[in-house]
Amino acid sequence: MQLAESIVAHPRNADWAAELRAAGLRATSQRVAVLTYLDHNPHSDAETILRGVLETLPTVSIQAVHGIVNDLTAAQIVRRVDLADSHSAQYETRTKDNHHHVQCIECGRVEDVDCAVGHAPCLTPSDTHGMRIIETDLTFRGLCTSCERK
């Protein structure tokens, strides 16, 4: 948990406009606002992002947020995370580093976990059925300390 908190406390403060242009996307104020919010609030779903960016962009809609996160995911500036104990897809700016997640099965809290082996595909299946394995979709599930106390 300490690791994830330190990541939240020290976001990258990247030049999102430059990253968008490098990916061939227009650096709109809505896209930059979504990226800035996600950088400080990883694993947010579209509804949470909307609430977060409404302060700076009062006219943005949930449809616009869905369109933005889809575009950013396709451009690999954002990673989409689908976890069993989340109601909807979550998004984060920490991409391409093969990290995993630990999720509380009670409250749904999600934290980052560095990959134990450091590189994909992490695990070797007993039978690949002839497929070249690219990655392993790995989620640790457990109980956080506050849910454990209940």
Q: Which residues define the annotated binding site for Zn(2+)?
A: 104, 107, 144, 147
Residue with token string 């980052």: 112
- The contact pattern for Zn ion, residues 88-117, with x = CB under 5 A and - = no contact, is ----x-----------x-xx-x--x--x--
Neighbours of 76 (CB within 10 A): 10
CA distance 125 to 115: 17
The size of the interface with Zn ion (CB under 5 A), counted in residues, is: 10
122 binds Zn ion (CB under 5 A): yes
- Sites for Zn ion among residues 63-92 (CB under 5 A): 92
Q: What angle do CA 47, 28, 98 make, to 5 degrees?
A: 60
33 burial via Cβ count (<10 Å: 0-12, 13-18, 19+): buried
11 burial via Cβ count (<10 Å: 0-12, 13-18, 19+): middle
- Based on CB atoms, which residue is closest to Zn ion, 44 or 64? 44
19 binds Zn ion (CB under 5 A): no
147 binds Zn ion (CB under 5 A): yes
144 binds Zn ion (CB under 5 A): yes
- Based on CB atoms, which residue is closest to Zn ion, 74 or 123? 123
CB 137 within 8 A of CB 120: no
- Based on CB atoms, which residue is closest to Zn ion, 15 or 135? 135
45 binds Zn ion (CB under 5 A): no
Angle, helices 62-74 vs 29-40, to 10°: value is 80
- Based on CB atoms, which residue is closest to Zn ion, 47 or 114? 114
For Zn ion, the binding residues (CB under 5 A) are 92, 104, 106-107, 109, 112, 115, 122, 144, 147
